[in-house]
């Protein structure tokens, strides 16, 4: 009787361990990402000097996985014809994509992305505009991270007119409809949290700074006397994304300071590469 009872207990213990192991094995894995948005002011700092090495040092210090850049020149006379994103790619040892939104001074001007992962796909959409002379747009890349496809988007909106920013956000949201996998959107929205463009954006996405419950206010402009929060990192919790932490990086390398967030993305059927 005692031997039979001991055998039953042993079987129960083995079964419990097996069940626990199965549950642990089937638990969804998570991917950790550090993302940054940075308006680099074509590499010109508050001292009015162009210094891409200084910009790269700011980026490298934070060790981001994905960086959305705004105000990037390629072959423009005002920045000595330098291909800024190619140079920043070398200085950070990251892959890059560039979106040419405007012809300027013999070169190109737009937004760009740096990535520690190989870039699997690139999409560039120019926005229609109503009054502002500067053409705007969005750049989306796909990267594969631990079997999941992550969409990373950067944009830079109209700085003059509120209705122009709203019009651009409407186009941005429409362009992202039907995109498969988690989406992270970053950029200089030129809109504070009370603005209509921000409010429209947050009907579909969440603000990482707010979600992080950061103690600071998150002002990102102007770099020498921070007074406005206009640079954002947006995400969707429905994509299995959680914000662990968000912060700004104090620097005078540009007229904006970078905003950084640590994200955690749960792997799931909708996030897996098909």
Residue 271's pLDDT is 57
- Say how many domains are in the chain: 1
Cα separation, 84 vs 90, in Å, equals 10
Residue 254's pLDDT is 98
Q: Do residues 94 and 118 touch, judged by C-beta distance below 8 A? A: no
Write out the residue range of the structural domain in which residue 166 sits.
29-266
Residue 84's pLDDT is 98
Any domain includes 18:
no
For the whole model, what pTM was predicted?
0.88
Residue 29's pLDDT is 77
Residues 6 or more apart whose CB falls under 8 angstroms from that of 251 comprise 58, 223, 257, 258
Any domain includes 86:
yes
Residues 6 or more apart whose CB falls under 8 angstroms from that of 229 comprise 192, 193, 209, 217, 218, 219, 220
CATH number for 108: 3.60.10.10
Any domain includes 144:
yes
Q: What is the pLDDT of residues 205-224, one digit of tens each?
A: 999 999 999 999 999 999 99
Q: Find the mean pLDDT for residues 134-144.
A: 96
Percent of the chain having pLDDT more than 90? 82
Whether residue 198 has pLDDT greater than 50 = yes
Any domain includes 243:
yes
Residue 200's pLDDT is 98
Any domain includes 219:
yes
Residue 268's pLDDT is 62
Cα 43 to chain centroid distance, Å, stands at: 19
Whether residue 20 has pLDDT greater than 70 = no
Residue 71's pLDDT is 98
Q: Find the mean pLDDT for residues 37-43.
A: 98
Cα separation, 104 vs 66, in Å, equals 27
Mind spelling out the 3-state secondary structure of 75-99?
CCHHHCCCEHHHHHHHHHCCEEEEE
Any domain includes 7:
no
Residue 30's pLDDT is 83
Phi, psi of 38 (to 5 degrees): -150, 115
Q: Do residues 261 and 66 touch, judged by C-beta distance below 8 A? A: no
Residue 218's pLDDT is 97
Helices (H) and strands (E) in the chain, counts: 6, 12
Cα separation, 63 vs 88, in Å, equals 14
Q: What is the pLDDT of residues 83-103, one digit of tens each?
A: 999 999 999 999 999 999 999
Q: What is the pLDDT of residues 244-273, one digit of tens each?
A: 999 999 999 999 999 999 999 997 655 554
Residue 8's pLDDT is 43
Any domain includes 204:
yes
Residue 22's pLDDT is 42
């Amino acid at each position: 009787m005692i031997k039979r009872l001991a055998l039953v207990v042993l079987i129960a213990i083995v079964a419990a361990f097996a069940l626990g192991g199965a549950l642990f094995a089937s638990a969804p894995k998570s991917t950790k990402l550090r993302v940054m948005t940075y308006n680099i002011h074509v590499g010109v700092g508050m001292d009015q000097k162009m210094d891409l090495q200084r910009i790269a040092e700011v980026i490298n210090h934070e060790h981001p996985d994905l960086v959305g850049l705004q105000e990037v020149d390629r072959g423009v006379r005002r920045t000595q014809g330098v291909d800024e994103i190619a140079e920043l790619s070398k200085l950070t040892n990251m892959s890059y994509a560039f979106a040419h939104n405007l012809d300027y001074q013999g070169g190109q001007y737009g937004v760009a992305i740096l990535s520690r992962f190989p870039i699997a796909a690139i999409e560039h959409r120019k926005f229609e505009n109503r009054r502002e002379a500067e053409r705007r747009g969005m750049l989306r890349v796909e990267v594969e991270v631990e079997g999941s496809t992550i969409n990373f988007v950067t944009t830079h909106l109209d700085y003059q007119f509120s209705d122009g920013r709203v019009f651009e956000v409407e186009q941005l949201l429409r362009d992202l409809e039907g995109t498969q996998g988690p989406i992270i959107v970053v950029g200089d929205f030129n809109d504070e949290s009370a603005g209509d463009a921000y409010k429209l954006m947050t009907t579909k996405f969440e603000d990482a700074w707010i979600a992080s419950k950061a103690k600071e206010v998150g002002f990102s402009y102007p770099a020498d006397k921070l007074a406005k929060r206009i640079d954002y990192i947006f995400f969707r919790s429905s994509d299995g994304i959680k914000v662990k932490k968000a912060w700004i990086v104090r620097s005078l390398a540009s007229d904006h300071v970078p905003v950084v967030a640590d994200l955690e993305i749960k792997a799931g059927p909708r996030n897996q590469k098909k």
